[in-house]
Amino acid sequence: MSALLVGESVCKYFGGLRAVDDVSFTLGEGEILGLIGPNGAGKTTLFSVAAGSVPATRGRVLLDGKQVSGKSGHRSVHQGICRTHQIVRPFARLSVLDNVLVGHHYGRPGPGHGRPVDHAMGILDFIGLADRAHQLPGELTLAGRKRLEVARALATGPRVLLLDEVVAGLTPVEAQRFVELIRQIRDRGTSIVMIEHVMHAVMGVSDRVMVLDHGRQIAEGTPEQVVKHPQVIEAYLGRDDDEPNDHDEPTHGDGPMGAGDPASGQHAKEKPDA
Ligand SMILES: Nc1ncnc2c1ncn2[C@@H]1O[C@H](COP(=O)(O)OP(=O)(O)OP(=O)(O)O)[C@@H](O)[C@H]1O
Ligand SMILES: [Mg+2]
C-alpha cells in the first residue's frame, strides 16, 4: 500500500505545552487509520496541523509528496485534504443543501460533473440527508448534524478525510450506521484518519490504529495489537501504583477488558452534544 499522507516528526507547542511532540505517521491509499488517546493527548491538534489550520512548530505533513501543513486551510482543501470538527460547525442560517454547496464551492477544483446542486444532492443522498435538504442544520438531530458535517467535507472532493469524533455522542444504532457510512466512504476511494473515543467503532473499522498520549505516539499497529499494548492500557487505565485505595470508588470493575478499556467497546469518553 503506497503512502498517500505522511507526517514527518510533527511538533506543535503552545508555549511550554507540547500538544504534539515528534509524531510521525503514514496513511496508505484506501486505508482507514484510527487515532486514539486520552483527552488532551493531541489528536485534534494533529488534525489541525495536517489540515493546515495551525502551523507546526516543527516537522511537516505531506499529501502525495507535497506539503499540506503550514498553509491555509483552504489551500490544503484544494490539495485534497479536508477535516471535520469535533464540535460541528454548520452555517446555522443556511439550509442543509446550501451548507453542502459551500463545501463544493470551496473544494478541490475538479473537472466539474454537472450542476453543483446535483452534485450536492448526490452527496446528501449518499449520506442519508436528502429528505432534509431544505431544513436548517438546527432542525437536525445530533446524528444528522454529524452527517451534515461529513457531507460538507465530502463535497470538497477530498482524497484524505480527517474525521474528528463523528461517532461520539450517538446512540449505539446511530453509531453502527455511521461506521457503515465510514466504510462506504473509503470504498468510494477516500482515505480516512478517524479520531474516536467510541472504541468498538474505531477498532471495528480501522485497518491500523495510532495511539497518542501527552502529545507522544505511544503505539501503532492493528487494533488487536494496540489494545494489548502495555503503554496503551496504562494510558487509559493508569499504572498499578495509581490504583485506587480502599476509600476510592472503582472506575471500572472487570480488569483490562472492562469499561473504559480500549478493547471493551465502551466509551472512554463521550460528549453528549458536540
Ligand atoms: N489553541 C490552543 N492553545 C493552547 N493550548 C491548546 C490549544 N489547542 C489545544 N491545546 C492544548 O493542547 C493539548 C492537546 O489538545 P487536543 O485538543 O489536541 O487534544 P485531544 O487529544 O483532541 O483531546 P480530546 O480527546 O479531549 O478532544 C491540550 O492540553 C489542550 O488544552
Ligand atoms: Mg480532540
- Distance between CA atoms of 88 and 201, rounded to whole angstroms? 19
Q: Which of 35, 45, 88 to mutate to test the pocket of ligand 1 (most atoms within 8 A of CB)?
A: 45
Nearest protein Cα to ligand 1, atom 31: 40
- Where in the sequence is the domain holding 73, given as residue range(s)? 3-88+158-257
Long-range contacts of 261-264 (CB under 8 A, 24+ apart): 261/199, 261/227, 261/233, 261/236, 261/237, 262/36, 262/199, 262/203, 262/226, 262/227, 262/232, 262/233, 262/236, 263/199, 263/203, 263/227, 263/228, 264/199, 264/200
Identify whether 51 is part of a domain.
yes
Identify whether 135 is part of a domain.
no
- Can you give the pLDDT at residue 113? 64
Identify whether 180 is part of a domain.
yes
Identify whether 146 is part of a domain.
no
Identify whether 95 is part of a domain.
no
Q: Which of 44, 49, 54 to mutate to test the pocket of ligand 1 (most atoms within 8 A of CB)?
A: 44
Is any ligand 1 atom within 6 A of the Cβ of residue 17?
yes
Q: Which of 10, 12, 14, 194 to mutate to test the pocket of ligand 1 (most atoms within 8 A of CB)?
A: 14
Identify whether 7 is part of a domain.
yes
Q: pTM for the full model? A: 0.88
Is any ligand 1 atom within 6 A of the Cβ of residue 167?
no
Identify whether 263 is part of a domain.
no
- Residue 11, phi-psi category: left (phi > 0), alpha (psi -120 to 50), beta (remainder): beta
Here the CATH number for the domain that contains residue 9 is 3.40.50.300
Query: If you measure from the C-alpha of residue 92 to the centroid of ligand 1, how many angstroms do you get, rounded to a whole number?
Result: 25
For the chain, the domain total comes to 1
Query: If you measure from the C-alpha of residue 40 to the centroid of ligand 1, how many angstroms do you get, rounded to a whole number?
Result: 5
Q: Which atom of ligand 1 is nearest to the CA of 215?
A: 14
Identify whether 19 is part of a domain.
yes
Query: If you measure from the C-alpha of residue 19 to the centroid of ligand 2, how many angstroms do you get, rounded to a whole number?
Result: 11
List the chain pLDDT tens, one digit each, 274 residues: 679 999 999 999 999 999 999 999 999 999 999 999 999 999 999 999 999 999 999 999 999 999 999 988 788 999 999 999 999 989 999 999 999 999 998 888 776 667 999 999 999 999 999 999 999 999 999 999 999 999 999 999 999 999 999 999 999 999 999 999 999 999 999 999 999 999 999 999 999 999 999 999 999 999 999 999 999 999 887 766 655 444 443 333 333 333 344 444 333 343 433 3
Nearest protein Cα to ligand 1, atom 18: 42
